[in-house]
Amino acid sequence: MNEAEPLSVHAVFNYAEAGLWFVIALVLAVRLRMGRPWRWLVPAAFGCFGVSDLIEVQTGAWWEPWWLFVLKAACVLVFLLAWLAFRRQGKRHG
């Protein structure tokens, strides 16, 4: 009988991080269900970011394979654009 190898700190951190992104995606999906049609993009990006962390556990790096880096960069771009839109909206209503 083979004993399973213990998870590395890197793997545990990525699993925990993925869980966090999935919870944020779920909360945002529930809270943003009403409103503009593009709002589904933010929770979807958090969900994709969680998936990217699960893939990172297998690859051992956030930049390998190249498309994993592109996926993470696209998610960060969505986060940035959503934050800018939120700030712009707050200034209009503030």
Question: Does residue 76 sit within a domain?
Answer: yes
Q: What is the pTM of this model?
A: 0.85
Question: Does residue 53 sit within a domain?
Answer: yes
Helical residues (DSSP H) of the chain, grouped into ranges: 9-31, 41-59, 66-93
Question: Does residue 3 sit within a domain?
Answer: no
pLDDT, one tens digit per residue, over 42-94 is 999 999 999 999 999 999 999 999 999 999 999 999 999 999 988 888 766 65
pLDDT, position 34: 66
Question: Does residue 42 sit within a domain?
Answer: yes
pLDDT, one tens digit per residue, over 2-52 is 567 888 999 999 999 999 999 999 999 998 876 666 788 999 999 999 999
Full residue range of the structural domain in which residue 87 is found: 9-93
Cα–Cα distance for residue pair 94/86, rounded to 1 Å: 12
Domain count, the chain: 1
Question: Does residue 2 sit within a domain?
Answer: no
